[in-house]
Amino acid sequence: MQLLRGSAPDMARLLLPALAALYLLLLAAVAVADDGATLLEIKKSFRNGDSALHDWSGDGASPGYCSWRGVLCDNVTFAVAALDLKSNGLSGQIPDEIGDCSFLQTLDLSSNILEGDIPFSISKLKHLENLILKNNQLVGVIPSTLSQLPNLKILDLAQNKLSGEIPNLIYWNEVLQYL
C-alpha cells in the first residue's frame, strides 16, 4: 500500500501532461471538423465563388478540403492554416465566416475585386500572422479589433479605399513587422 501512495505524485506528474495534450488534440479535432463546412460557406458568400473556386466541392469532410485551391492545412490536425486566394477574381465582401477558421495563420485575399468593410470577425483569428488584403476595393475604417491579433506580423491593406487612421492600438503589437 505504501508503494501506491508514494508513487501517486509521480503518476500525477506523468498523467497531467498527457491528459492536457489529449485535451488540446480533442479541441483541435472539434475545431477542424467544421473547417470544411466553413470553407464552403466562405465560397458561397463570394459572388463568383462557384466559378473561381470550382474545386471547392463536396461535403467539406477532412482532409479532402486540404487539396482545394488556395487551402493549406496542418499536416497533423488538418486544420486550415492558410488561405491563399490572391488573384482569383473573387468579388463581393469578405465573409464573416473567415473568423471561424480558428487555426488560420495566413489570409491572403489580395488582388481580387473585394468590396465592403473588413469584417470584425477577423479579430477572432488568434493564430493569424499574415493578413494581406491589398489591391481590392475595400472601404470603411480599419477595425481597431485587429489589435487583438497577438501574432500578427504582416498587415498589408494597401491599394484599397479605406478611410480614417490606422488604430493606435495596432502599434502596440510587438511582433508586427510590416504595416
The pLDDT tens digits for 118-138 are: 999 999 999 999 999 999 999
Please report the pLDDT score of residue 34 as a whole number. Answer: 80
CATH superfamily for 34-172 is Ribonuclease Inhibitor (3.80.10.10)
- The tally of CA atoms less than 13 A away on the side-chain side of residue 98 is 25
pTM for the whole structure: 0.79
Give the pLDDT band of residue 176 (cuts 50, 70, 90).
Answer: low
The predicted model gives 77-105 an average pLDDT of 96
Please report the pLDDT score of residue 106 as a whole number. Answer: 98
Please report the pLDDT score of residue 21 as a whole number. Answer: 64
Please report the pLDDT score of residue 70 as a whole number. Answer: 96
| Percent of the chain whose pLDDT exceeds 90 | 55
Whether residue 167 has pLDDT greater than 90:
no
Please state, in angstroms and rounded to a whole number, the distance separating the CA atoms of residues 111 and 89. Answer: 8
The predicted model gives 95-119 an average pLDDT of 97
Please report the pLDDT score of residue 63 as a whole number. Answer: 75
The pLDDT tens digits for 136-148 are: 999 999 888 888 8
Q: CB of 169 within 8 A of CB of 145? A: no
Across the chain, mean pLDDT equals 84
The pLDDT tens digits for 34-88 are: 898 999 999 999 998 888 899 998 877 767 899 999 999 999 889 999 999 999 9
Whether residue 23 has pLDDT greater than 70:
no
